[in-house]
Every structure is written in C-alpha cells, then in structure tokens.
C-alpha cells in the first residue's frame, strides 16, 4: 500500500479508481519500444542510469501518451525535485477546453526507490490498483488579452511578448496579491506595448499577450496554442516576462536573466544589441519549464523567459505585495529591453535552437 505524498506522488490522473496488470519496461536496452506496451497495463519503467531529468522526460513522453492505464517511475531516476513537487499537491487532471472530449492519458506516478524496487521484483501480470476520490468536473473561465502592432515589410513574421495575468487568488481567507508574480511582468508587457507603438512602425509585427490561468497549468497559453488567432509558424521569437519586480542578488543589480540560455542563440544576439541579459543563475529550479514560454517551446517555437526572481520567500505567499516591489529596478529592467526589442522587430535575424536543445 503506497500513499500519495508519502511513498509516491501521483503527478497526473484522468480516471479513478483503476486496476491494471503490471508490465516491466527497461529503457536501457535498445530493444525497448512503446509498441510493446500492453493496452490498459500498469507500466513500471526503469530509466537509463545517469539520464538528466530533461532526457528522462523525453524518453517517457511516448509512454505517457500510450494505451497504458498507469505509468510508474522511480524518483531516483526521474528526479527528486519532481517527487517533492508532486507530493505537495493533488494530482494534475488535464483540463477540458470548451466542448472537447476528455483526454484519456495514463496516470503518471513517481515512487520512492525502495518501493520501486519492490514493485520491480513482482512478476508481470501482478494486479495493481490505484484509488482516488475525484470531485465532479466544474466549469470555470479564464481570459487572455492579445494586442498586435502591425509590421511593414516583414509583417508576416511575429515577435511575441507575454506575461501572465493571474496569481493564486484568495485561499483560506487570505489574498495572494502576486505583485511580483506576475503583475510586474504584466506591467512590463503593457509598457513595452506603449513605447513600441510610439516608435516608427516596425518591419515585423509585434504581438503583446497577457495569459490567464498560468498558475494552474498554463491554461490560457495552452488554449491559445490550441485555437491560435494567427499561424503559429509565423512566430519568430517569444519572450515571457516573469517576476522582474525585484533584483536578483546572484546577478548585477541592473541585469536580468534568461531561461534556457544555452538552448538558443536569442540571448547572445539580444546582448549584442544592448540587452542586459545573463544566463539563469538557478539552473536546478528548472525555470525554463515553469512558465508559459514552455508551452510554446514544446511546439518548436524559440520561446524563453526573462526574469530577475532571486528566490525570495514571498513567492506564492500572501506577502508578495506591492510594497516589496523595487520600482527603480523594475523601471530600469523594462527600459533596458526597449532598444534590443526594437532591433529584433526590425532585423531579418531569426533565432534558432542549438542542436539537441529543443524540448
């Protein structure tokens, strides 16, 4: 008997209860294949030793979309960070947009190494049951705000600048204000829209987007990707502004950092044209995968996030209030991006992924 939050963390769930028969798959041999997955099985997957969490995610992707009922991995292979994050919250249930049919995906479970080895020792065909109480579906609404500055000679190419509108709302009678996360980014996008609109019309179009419901699973941006208002292949570069309201003590006070610095050539190109950007100084936090940019990056679009979050203790707390904002820093941060973004909107340069670094 394994319990969520203790010996295991259920990361994703679409139906419960469910019962499936155990099937072991070792990804180390080259003979492993998703084609061997038995429909409705409980897949116990042993990852290749030494895999990074990113490569582990890529290796698991086809199995997490397979006909299995359940996918189980060890926290020692998939990453302790994933286990810790999943154990602190309820399982994620994929939302249903509009009138689409519910997506039936295998439940995804990360278990502690000791329990994983015990499961691995069980014979194939062993019955595995997952029990959970699911609350009824409820309808809720979110909002995206999108504006466009038309281009001229390269008007079919789009630079997309975004932030997310939402925070955590009111919980247990406490208001979570989200002044830094992400009112600061929202203010940056609005100010950049105001300034760029006052300049001569750019060659490329610039789209300014404020996404809803980022905090509960990138829902606003995911909806846009499902129902875009322009061809997604026209996006040349995407920059998300996330938590720029305070300086990060790990970098110079006048600098910002860019997630996924080594993944593309966009950051260095912007620096050459005046951007005060450096690589994300918190690589273990996996910030590249934790904001709306990631939804676009998974579609192949060069999409990264600009921030100066220094891991302050007010993150996702009611204390993330406006009195904590360093407005001098924030003003300078936004101003520092005007010239490089003006260049990006008027150049023929197209940023590219570094080979092997596209998600």
Cα(183)–Cα(349) distance, integer angstroms: 31
Residues 161 and 305 in one domain: yes
Give me the domain span that covers residue 28. 8-130
Whether 121 and 153 map to the same domain: the answer is no
> pLDDT tens digit string along 140-152?
888 999 999 999 9
Tell me, what's the pLDDT at 196? 98
Residue 100 predicted with pLDDT over 80: no
Per mean pLDDT, which range of 73-82, 209-218, 260-269, 319-328 is the poorest?
73-82
Cβ 3 vs Cβ 83: under 8 Å: no
C-alpha distances in Å from residue 167, one per residue of 121, 178, 214, 289, 316: 44, 5, 8, 18, 8
- Are 220 and 168 in the same domain? yes
- Name the residue among 271, 229, 12, 298 with its Cα closest to residue 130: 12
- Is residue 135 assigned to a domain? no
CATH of the domain at 233: 3.40.630.10
Strand arrangement, sheet containing 256-258:
145-149, 204-211, 154-164, 235-241, 303-307, 256-258, 277-279
Residues 122 and 172 in one domain: no
Same structural domain, 111 and 173: no
Q: Are residues 57 and 169 in the same domain?
A: no
Single residue among 101, 130, 159 that ends a domain in this structure: 130
pLDDT higher than threshold 80 for residue 54: no
Tokens of 35: 């084609």
Please indicate whether residue 90 or residue 242 has the higher confidence score (pLDDT): 242
Separation of alpha carbons 239 and 279, rounded Å? 14
Report how far residue 225's alpha carbon sits from residue 230's, in angstroms, rounded to the nearest whole number.
10
Share of the chain above pLDDT 70, in %: 100
CB atoms within 10 A of CB 298: 15
Domain check: are 204 and 234 in the same one? yes
- Which tokens sit at 133? 């109480």
Give the residue-averaged pLDDT of 82-91.
Answer: 82
Same domain, 260 and 199: yes
Which range is least confidently modeled, 41-55, 77-91, 329-343? 77-91
Q: Of 104, 130, 156, which residue sits at a domain end?
A: 130
Residue 104 has pLDDT above 80, yes or no: no
Instruction: Identify whether 351 is part of a domain.
Output: no
Are 83 and 169 part of one and the same domain? no
CATH number of the domain where residue 35 is located: 3.50.30
Locate 302 and state its tokens. Answer: 């060069």
Q: Give 66-86 pLDDT, tens digit per residue.
A: 999 999 999 888 878 778 878
Q: Are residues 14 and 70 in the same domain?
A: yes
Helices (H), 65-175: 75-78, 80-87, 113-121
Q: Work out how many domains the chain is built from and give that number.
A: 2
Q: Is residue 191 part of a domain?
A: yes
- Residue 1 within a domain: no
For residues 122 and 153, membership in a common domain is answered with no
Q: For position 239, what pLDDT does the model report?
A: 98
**What does the block give as tokens for 59?**
């290796």
Q: How many CB atoms lie within 10 A of CB 249?
A: 12
pLDDT band for 14, please (50, 70, 90 cuts). confident
The CA distance from 84 to 86, in Å, is 6
Asked if residue 260 belongs to a domain, the reply is yes
| 57: enclosing H helix or E strand | helix 53-64
Residues 56 and 201 occupy one common structural domain? no
Q: Is residue 216 part of a domain?
A: yes
101: pLDDT strictly greater than 90:
no
Among 96, 130, 164, residue at a domain's last position: 130
Q: Which of 96-110, 172-186, 313-327 has the least mean pLDDT?
A: 96-110
Domain membership flag for residue 357: no
Decide if 288 contacts 280 (C-beta within 8 A).
yes
Residues forming a β-bridge with 125: none
Contact 248, 281 (CB under 8 A): yes
């Amino acid at each position: 008997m394994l319990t969520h939050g203790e010996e295991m963390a259920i990361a994703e769930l679409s139906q419960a209860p469910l019962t499936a028969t155990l099937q072991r798959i070792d990804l180390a041999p080259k003979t492993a294949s998703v084609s061997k997955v038995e429909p409705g099985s409980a897949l116990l997957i042993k990852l290749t030793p030494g895999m990074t969490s990113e490569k582990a995610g890529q290796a698991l992707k086809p199995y997490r979309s397979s006909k299995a009922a359940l996918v189980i991995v060890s926290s020692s292979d998939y990453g302790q960070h994933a286990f810790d994050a999943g154990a602190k919250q309820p399982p994620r249930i994929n939302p249903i947009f509009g009138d689409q049919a519910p997506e039936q995906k295998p439940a995804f479970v990360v278990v502690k190494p000791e329990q994983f080895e015990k499961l691995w020792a069980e014979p194939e065909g062993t019955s595995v049951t997952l029990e959970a109480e699911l609350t009824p579906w409820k309808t809720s609404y979110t909002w995206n705000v999108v504006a466009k500055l038309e281009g001229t000679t390269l008007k079919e190419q789009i630079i997309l600048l975004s932030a997310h509108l939402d925070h955590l709302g009111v919980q247990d009678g406490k208001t979570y204000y989200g002044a830094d996360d992400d009112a600061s980014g929202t203010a940056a996008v609005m100010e950049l829209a105001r300034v760029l609109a006052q300049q001569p019309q750019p060659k490329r179009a610039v789209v300014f987007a404020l996404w809803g419901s980022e905090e509960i699973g990138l829902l606003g941006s995911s909806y846009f990707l499902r129902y875009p208002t322009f061809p997604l292949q026209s996006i040349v570069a995407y920059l998300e502004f996330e938590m720029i309201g305070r300086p990060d003590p790990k970098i110079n006070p006048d600098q910002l950092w860019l997630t996924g610095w080594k993944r593309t050539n966009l950051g260095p190109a912007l620096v050459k044209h005046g951007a005060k950007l450096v690589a994300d100084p918190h690589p273990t936090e996996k910030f590249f995968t934790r904001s709306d940019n990631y939804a676009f990056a998974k579609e192949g679009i060069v999409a990264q996030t600009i921030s100066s979050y220094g891991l302050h203790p007010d993150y996702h707390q009611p204390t993330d209030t406006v009195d904590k904002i360093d407005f001098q820093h924030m003003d300078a941060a936004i101003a520092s991006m005007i010239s490089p973004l003006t260049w990006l909107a008027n150049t023929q340069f197209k940023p590219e992924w570094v080979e092997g670094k596209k998600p």
